[in-house]
Amino acid sequence: MVVLDNQDKQLLRLLQGDASLSVGDLAERVALSKSACWRRLQKLEEACVIRQRVTLLDPASIGLGLTVFITIRTNQHNAAWVEQFRQIVQEVEGVLEVYRLGGQLDYLLKAVVADMPGYDRLYQRLIAADLFDVSASFVMEEIKATTALPLG
């Protein structure tokens, strides 16, 4: 774990809100010189606090209007099956997130597709992994969605 001071946290809050801010803009907003700000950013990247900088797209505006949460149970709990499953979910376009869970469910996936036929195509690709039980919940309304982590 990396210990963050207040200026690090300020920088990270700003970048989580807008990763396109220049070093100059960031430095001015956190009261640092450009070179000191750049060094801090480099240290945060080297420590893997900053994993990557991305542009977030609006799914509906590019024809991906249906968000789906997919729960999976499997009766396969061996290394070969897990590797096959990992490969399939990596290759299926539209699968955004995959989590292995403890408890009654084995996996939780988040996916975006254009519509129900798009979900059916995604489903057909997933079941190639020899799944025991697949269930889907379709998002009717997004109430909160953020990528910003709390920094205290």
Per-residue pLDDT of the chain (152 residues; tens, 9 = 90+): 899 999 999 999 999 999 999 999 999 999 999 999 999 999 999 999 999 999 999 999 999 999 999 999 999 889 999 999 999 999 999 999 999 999 999 999 999 999 999 999 999 999 988 889 999 999 999 999 999 999 98
Angstrom distance (rounded) from CA 152 to CA 146: 16
Residue 15 is classified by DSSP as H
Whole-number pLDDT of residue 74: 93
Whole-number pLDDT of residue 58: 96
Look-up: residue for tokens 């798009």? 118
Angle, alpha carbons 145-25-31 (nearest 5°): 105
Amino acid at 19: A
Q: Cβ contacts of residue 132 below 8 Å, gap of 6+?
A: 72, 73, 74, 75, 76
Q: Could you tell me the domains of the chain?
A: 6-46 (1.10.10.10), 59-138 (3.30.70.920)
Give 100-107's long-range contacts (Cβ < 8 A, gap of 24+).
104/73, 105/71, 105/72, 105/73, 106/72, 106/73, 106/74, 107/71, 107/72, 107/74
Task: List strands edge to edge, sheet with 133-138.
Answer: 95-100, 107-113, 66-73, 133-138
